[in-house]
Amino acid sequence: MKVYIDGKFYDPAEAKVSVLDHGFLYGDGVFEGIRAYNGRVFKLKEHIDRLYRSAKAILLDIPLTPEQMTAAVLESCRQNGSPDCYIRLVVTRGIGTLGLNPKNCRRGSVVIIVGDIQLYPRELYEKGMEIVTVPTTRNLINAVNPAIKSLNYLNNILAKIEANIAGVEEAIMLNAEGYVAECTGDNLFIVQGPRLLTPPLYAGALYGITRGVVMELAREAGMEVAETNLTRYDIFNADECFLTGTGAELIPVVKVDGRVIGNGKPGPTTTGLIARYRALTRVSGEPF
Ligand code: PXG
Cα–Cα distance, 182 to 85 (Å, whole number): 25
CA 13 to chain centroid:
26
Same domain, yes or no, for 271 and 207? yes
Residues in the chain: 288
Rg (CA), the chain: 19
Most informative mutation of 31, 113, 206 for ligand 1 (most atoms within 8 A of CB): 206
Same domain, yes or no, for 139 and 12? no
pTM strictly above 0.95: yes
Spatial neighbors of 116 by CB under 8 A, at least 6 apart, are: 85, 86
Same domain, yes or no, for 36 and 129? no
Spatial neighbors of 147 by CB under 8 A, at least 6 apart, are: 53, 54, 57, 141, 201, 205, 206, 207
Q: Tens-of-pLDDT digits for all 288 residues of the chain?
A: 889 999 999 999 999 999 999 999 999 999 999 999 999 999 999 999 999 999 999 999 999 999 999 999 999 999 999 999 999 999 999 999 999 999 999 999 999 999 999 889 999 999 999 999 999 999 999 999 999 999 999 999 999 999 999 999 999 999 999 999 999 999 999 999 999 999 999 999 999 999 999 999 999 999 999 999 999 999 999 999 999 999 999 999 999 999 999 999 999 999 999 999 999 999 999 999
Cα–Cα distance, 160 to 176 (Å, whole number): 18
Of all protein residues, the one whose alpha carbon is nearest to atom 3 of ligand 1 is 185
Residue 101: the pLDDT is 95
- Is there an atom of ligand 1 within 6 Å of 33 CB? yes
272 and 280 Cβ atoms separated by less than 8 Å: no
Spatial neighbors of 49 by CB under 8 A, at least 6 apart, are: 66
Residue 91 lies in a domain: yes
Cα–Cα distance, 83 to 78 (Å, whole number): 9
Same domain, yes or no, for 111 and 129? no
Q: Which residues are catalytic?
A: 149
Residue 285 burial (CB count, 10 A): 20
For residue 99, the domain's CATH number is: 3.30.470.10
Same domain, yes or no, for 46 and 80? yes
Residue type, 18: S
- Given 93, 115, 137, the domain boundary residue is 115
Q: Angle, to 10 degrees, between the axis of helix 44-57 and the axis of helix 66-80?
A: 130
Same domain, yes or no, for 28 and 77? yes
Residue 187 burial (C-beta neighbours within 10 Å; 0-12, 13-18, 19+) = buried
Residue 56 burial (CB count, 10 A): 13
Cα–Cα distance, 183 to 218 (Å, whole number): 21
- Given 77, 99, 115, the domain boundary residue is 115
Of all protein residues, the one whose alpha carbon is nearest to atom 15 of ligand 1 is 185
Same domain, yes or no, for 99 and 141? no
Same domain, yes or no, for 130 and 102? no
Of all protein residues, the one whose alpha carbon is nearest to atom 17 of ligand 1 is 247
The domain of 86 spans 3-115
Residue 62 lies in a domain: yes
Same domain, yes or no, for 28 and 59? yes
Same domain, yes or no, for 255 and 181? yes
Cα(247) to ligand 1 centroid in Å equals 6
Residue 288 lies in a domain: no
- Given 55, 87, 115, the domain boundary residue is 115
Same domain, yes or no, for 111 and 128? no
Cα(first)–Cα(last) distance of the chain, in Å?
16
Q: Which atom of ligand 1 is nearest to the CA of 210?
A: 13
Count: domains in the chain: 2
CA distances (Å), origin 89, targets 22, 35, 92, 148, 211? 16, 11, 10, 14, 20
Same domain, yes or no, for 104 and 164? no
